[in-house]
Amino acid sequence: MSFAATLALVAGYQYGLPWHADADTSLGARVALWGGREIAGLILASLVAGLATTPFAAFHFHRLAPYGVVANLLAMPVVSTLVMPMGILAVLAMPFGFDAVFWKLMGLGIDWMISVALWVTSLPGSVGRMAAFGTGPLLLCTAGMLLLCLLRSPLRWSGAGLVVAASLWAATAPRPDVLVAADGQSAAIRGADGQLAVLASGRDTFAVKEWLAADGDARTPKDASLSKGVRCDPVGCIGRLADGRLVSMALSVEAFAEDCARTAVVVSPREAPGACAAMLVDRQAWRANGAISLSWTGDRFEQNAARPAGYERPWARPPRLAAETGAPTLRPASRDATPREDDLEAGDTN
């Protein structure tokens, strides 16, 4: 993000500001013009740096900052004139024991920055949310930014087209239908309303929090609406996808028999005791693959694993059993998963 902001600032400032004060201008006009240039320069820097870092912030943190210019406009003058100078003077005065007053003045500036941050975040729509998208849109947007910032010929404007195309690509990126945590304790499905519903969250809600953030969802793991459309009993939970297919979380051995016969996907923190006619994501699968997401493509579930086949790192080696036996890590369904009328009735929780 720092490299992107620096590149954009250098590219933007090579043209300078469109007006300047000359010797024939009156003193009052020169002072007013100087102040206007400083404010305009600060706004321009905030806009350029903010736009350059937006794709990377959206990709990694799923957040946008629509009021970043306002925050920078209020905070940066204090940082430049008070916080940084007082910090330098405090370091210089520290060997002589006269640094306390400078630290206090620096603290006043930091208090102002905190107040600005709290005020901006309290404004309506201050937190923009962006659903997760793949590396393709990010790379395309980066290529567009490089063309815009590095080329000097009119060809550079082709970079703007790439940025627009990348933005549309990111905004229309498909979202997974089933999510399973790396420990198999948590799972979520996408219901008919397009939002995630949690089948089980285990004892740790970290995975659910990350799923909601990556989905551009402002809800928290404790939100009651996360259980909408999900029915649970002592042996497991069941929920319905947008097309009516059932997804279950089998918490006990007894639940596998019914779930494998009726649902399209069975998720479990346990290892299945035998064959399963549904797509199975059990202990064997998540131990070998880590976190798993499933997306319905029209005729089958497309699998996306955090540790796909062939993935091996010193800090994430595959389980010995799967590596030695070559056993399948994710077992696809052996029957048609098209929902039946009695399945829909069994999974109806409204």
Quickly list H helices, the chain.
2-13, 27-61, 68-78, 84-93, 100-121, 135-150, 158-171, 206-214, 253-262, 283-289, 320-325, 341-347
Q: Are strands 246-250 and 236-240 parallel, antiparallel or unpaired?
A: antiparallel
Burial 125-136 (b: 16+ CB within 10 A, else e): ebeebbbbbeee
Same domain (yes/no): 189, 50: no
- In whole angstroms, what is the distance from residue 257 CA to residue 251 CA? 12
- Say what the pLDDT of residue 349 is: 41
Same domain (yes/no): 155, 214: no
Boundary of a domain, candidates 62, 92, 125: 125
C-beta neighbour count of 85 within 10 angstroms? 15
Q: How many domains does the chain divide into? A: 3
Segments of the chain with pLDDT less than 70:
15-36, 309-350
- Say what the pLDDT of residue 99 is: 93
- Say what the pLDDT of residue 118 is: 93
- In whole angstroms, what is the distance from residue 202 CA to residue 269 CA? 10
118-128 residue pLDDT tens = 999 898 888 88
Residue 130 within a domain: no
Same domain (yes/no): 110, 162: no
Predicted TM-score (pTM) above 0.85: no
At 290, give phi and psi (nearest 5°): 75, -150
- Say what the pLDDT of residue 322 is: 47
Contact 53, 1 (CB under 8 A): yes
Same domain (yes/no): 114, 250: no
Domain housing 147: 135-171
Same domain (yes/no): 120, 193: no
Annotate 202-223 with DSSP letters as a single string.
Answer: -S--HHHHHHHHHTT----TT-
- Say what the pLDDT of residue 346 is: 46
- Say what the pLDDT of residue 328 is: 46
Report the chain's terminal Cα–Cα distance, integer Å.
46
Same domain (yes/no): 48, 22: yes
Closest CA to 41 of 86, 7, 9: 9
